[in-house]
Amino acid sequence: MNEPDRRRGLALLRRRVHVVLDGGSHDRVARVVHRGLIGLVLLSVVSVIFESVPEYSDNYADIFNLIEYVAVAAFTLEYVLRVWCAPEHALYARRSPTAARLAFIGSGWALIDLAAFLPFYLSFYFSADLRVFLMLRLLRFFKFARYSPGIRTLLAVIEAERKALLAWLIILFGAVLFFSTAMHIAEHEAQPEKFGTIPDAMWWAIETVTTVGYGEVIPLTLAGKLIASFAMVTGFLLLGLPVGILATAFAEEIHRREFVVTWTMVASVPLFRGLDAAGIAEIMR
């Protein structure tokens, strides 16, 4: 086999690997691979959970180790293959192969894939608390997001509404800062150990505005009780903002996707192929 044929064969193989790893439900091999990876993620997460139980850890250590080795091997191979076929991804199609791979390595999905197996290798070189590696191993649960259209839609909604959510976070921090300062002024003499400083009062403000209300720190003065009342009402109003933002954006995103799917279905019918956009829209209604 000459060099051009070899490169052409590698290009076809890389494209096929990309379809298998990132293809949709139309490809049978892709469906099998995705379901296998989903099952492996679920099995490994359940294994980590039960491994924390001493009785199970002692009696089934070999099974837990086998599951971990298989999961790490599969996730490592998946990551390497995704890096290799990154130039086939539509987002990086105009970049050089090296630039495409570097861009993929720095993406959020690649970091999640890396977190799925990296703690296993780090445990050989760092003598940290095993509970830290246990928590890092559970990060592979987020690989479900790659294979869940609903989660991907939600992430797209969060990305689209990031400015509104950032504005909400700023307002929330401002409310916490305002109420903690007001409570410090009203209660610092009555309860110096709890409201003696603004940072001390911020814990009360956070648990009040978020409506958690542990009850370990409560106002004693009349002014403090009035401030707390305003803080609780403000907390209810503020917590409803992100819910409304995300719910509205999520519904709009679903409607747009349904519109595109319906438009494609109508436009693909031979009888309607000659119609313009207005005609297809009329039929869609």
Q: Output the domain CATH number for residue 259.
A: 1.10.287.70
Distance CA 203, CA 197 (A): 11
Of 147, 175, 208, the position where a domain reaches its end is 147
Asked if 110 contacts 79 with a C-beta cutoff of 8 angstroms, the reply is yes
- Residue 42, both tokens: 């679920």
Cα–Cα distance, 86 to 22 (Å, whole number): 10
Quote the pLDDT of residue 261: 65
Judge whether residue 52 has pLDDT over 60: yes
Q: Which residues contact 132 (CB under 8 A, 6 or more apart)?
A: none
Q: Running DSSP on this structure, what letter comes out for residue 140?
A: G
Residues 102 and 219 in one domain: no
133 and 38 together in one domain: yes
**pLDDT for residue 129:** 53
Query: Cα(233)–Cα(235) distance, rounded to whole angstroms?
Result: 5
> Is the residue at 36 inside a domain?
yes
Q: Where residue 81 sits, what CATH number does that domain have? A: 1.20.120.350
Residues with Cβ within 8 Å of residue 102, at least 6 apart in sequence = none
What is the domain extent for residue 112? Answer: 3-147
Q: Looking at the structure, do residues 190 and 110 belong to the same domain, yes or no? A: no
Last residue of a domain, one of 94, 124, 147: 147
Q: How far apart are CA 80 and CA 100, in angstroms?
A: 14
How many angstroms separate the CA atoms of 158 and 145, rounded?
14
How many beta carbons lie within 10 A of that of residue 251, not counting itself?
11
The mean of the pLDDT values for the chain is 82
pLDDT band at 127 (very low <50, low <70, confident <90, very high): low
User: Which class for 9: exposed (0-12), middle (13-18), buried (19 or more C-beta within 10 A)?
Assistant: exposed
Each residue's pLDDT tens digit, 91-123 = 787 888 889 889 989 888 888 888 888 888 887
Span 166-203, pLDDT tens digits: 999 999 999 999 999 999 999 888 888 888 889 889 99
Task: Report if residue 34 sits inside a domain.
Answer: yes
| Predicted confidence (pLDDT) per residue in 64-93, tens digit | 889 888 988 999 999 999 999 988 887 787
